Amino acid sequence: MRCWIAWLLAWGCALPGFGQAFESFSEEYNFYTYLLREDYPGEAFTVLEKLSLRPGLTVGQRDTVQYAMGRFHYERQELLLAAEAFGEVSSTNTELWTEAVFFRAFGLAYSGQPNIAIQELDQVTFKDPQYQELKVYQQAGMALLARDFAAYEQYKQGFTGTYFAFAEEEKNSQQWADDLQNFPGKRPWLAGTLSAIVPGLGRVYANKWGQGLATFMQVGVFGAQAWEGYRKDGLVSWRFITFAAVGSIFYISNVVGSVFAAQQRNQEFYEAVDYRLKLDLHMPLRTLFR
């Protein structure tokens, strides 16, 4: 089957114009959807790319192709490529355009560009009040991703909680805002200082209890051996020098490691909240635009 499809594509591409391998846009587009449905994504995208180059496409047909490219990349989590394709859908106030606007904004925000997504959404207005409020909700969530809490409070004023597709997500957003604003964070310098005083204590402060205990044991064992060597044989004994040197390495690593542990703890917290935020931004799109 795959060999037959590959042969058909090669035959079509060898023609003077691949667009003439099919009599109509619909036939060629249907072939793309067939390949996608039969799980031939590579071959399907080849057809879609060729279709985008077909001469004489109407604006509506070109929008259909660009939207399909966007969905193709979106389903494969290639969100920046998806955003680029969705941005080419040009016919405003159509269902395809509405979906493309929201999916493009989500792709940008998910990929670390929430401020750009917010600015682009500011440029559009939807006649449907549900879509207009969805836009406001998306901007509010993206403001949290950008850590712009003042903007979030402003957008939140537009929540009504009346639309089932995202009423729960609107409510959740306040929890994410509270979590982000109230998280005290772990101070790397404090973690390092604590571990300098008591080995491993900085990691405990960073909520790395297992690592803290292991570090304390490692430094403690080498410190005890070094002390024993010094007590029995003095400063110049090989036992004292060896264990003191190795123990010093573990001690310094314990301090530096505690600094990084605090930084990692902060990063883990923010990544966890951002993940839930992005999930909440995504769910209404999946519900409304299946």
| Residue 166 or residue 20, greater confidence | 166
Give the chain's domain count: 2
pLDDT score, position 228:
62
Q: Report how far residue 199's alpha carbon sits from residue 250's, in angstroms, rounded to the nearest whole number.
A: 9
Please give the residue range of the domain that contains residue 147.
125-182
Task: For residue 154, tell me if it sits in a domain.
Answer: yes
pTM: 0.78
- Residue 91 DSSP SS3: coil
Residue 202, pLDDT > 80, answer: no
**Residue with token string 């605090």:** 262
Give the end of a domain, one of 136, 159, 182: 182
Measured CA to CA in angstroms, residue 285 lies from 107, 165, 250, 276 at distances of 12, 9, 51, 15
Examine residue 63 and state whether it is found in any structural domain, yes or no. no
- Please write the tens of the pLDDT for every residue from 258-279: 777 778 888 889 999 999 999 9
175 and 194 part of one domain: no
Cα(129)–Cα(197) distance, rounded to whole angstroms?
A: 60
Final residue belonging to a domain, choices 152, 182, 212: 182
pLDDT value at residue 237: 67
User: In sequence order, what are the residues at sequence separation of 6 or more whose Cβ sits closer than 8 angstroms to the Cβ of residue 113?
Assistant: none
241/193 same-domain check: yes
> Tell me, what's the pLDDT at 185?
74
240 within domain boundaries: yes
Backbone angles phi and psi of 39, in degrees to 5 = 70, 50
Per-residue model confidence as pLDDT tens digits over 116-155: 999 999 999 999 999 999 999 999 999 999 999 999 999 9
Q: Which of 182, 200, 219 is the last residue of a domain?
A: 182
Q: What was the pLDDT predicted at 13?
A: 45
